[in-house]
Structure 1
């Protein structure tokens, strides 16, 4: 296996790990905030329902942003410049 292939494989594993954390952390943070509200302020257990919904919304938002960044990076890699095309710095 070449170094380039190994680098690409490790990069893909890192993106999967980042996506997993992006899905999990907002939900866990909202659940922890609900736990603190219930224990410190003696709020009812009903707080977990909106906290869970807000955590899922945060998870989906961050996952969507990670998805967009991956798509944007792949589109940059696929773009191939035409040698005949005129660019800002190349007029002739």
Structure 2
């Protein structure tokens, strides 16, 4: 039962990562589309919006991976080295 719970927890984490990486890009593109269509801003502003959205998604991925690495380190038992065991 514990394996099923762990698999479902990993699936939730993966879904959260996907949403956290895509939402900044979609929000930046949506805001740029709104500014271009309502205020008549130039269309070249889509490029900075895409770059800003992708960089925000990359920052989210970096923070997520650091958190998962830290979490994996806490779960693995660390072997202790005795006085006569080290080299």
TM category (shorter chain) comes to 0.7 to 0.9
CA RMSD of aligned residues (A): 1.5
Among 74, 77, 81, which residue is 1:76 paired with? 74
Give, in whole Å, the separation in 2 of the partners of 1:7 and 1:54. 36
Q: Trace 1:1-92 onto structure 2 (pairs within 5 A).
A: 3-80=1-78, 82=80
In the alignment of these two chains, the number of paired residues is 81
Unaligned runs of 5+ in 2: 83-87
Query: Shift of residue 81 of structure 1?
Result: 7.4
1:28-74 deviation per Cα after TM superposition (whole angstroms, max 9, x unaligned): 01001101110121101111010001000001000111111111100
Query: Shift of residue 80 of structure 1?
Result: 3.8
User: Taking structure 1 as the reference length, what is the TM-score of the superposition?
Assistant: 0.80
Give, in whole Å, the separation in 1 of the partners of 2:28 and 2:79. 46
Give, in whole Å, the separation in 1 of the partners of 2:55 and 2:18. 15
SS of the residue aligned with 1:58? Answer: helix
List, as ranges, runs of 4+ consecutive aligned residues in structure 1 with deviation greater than 2 Å. 79-82
Unaligned runs of 5+ in 1: 85-92
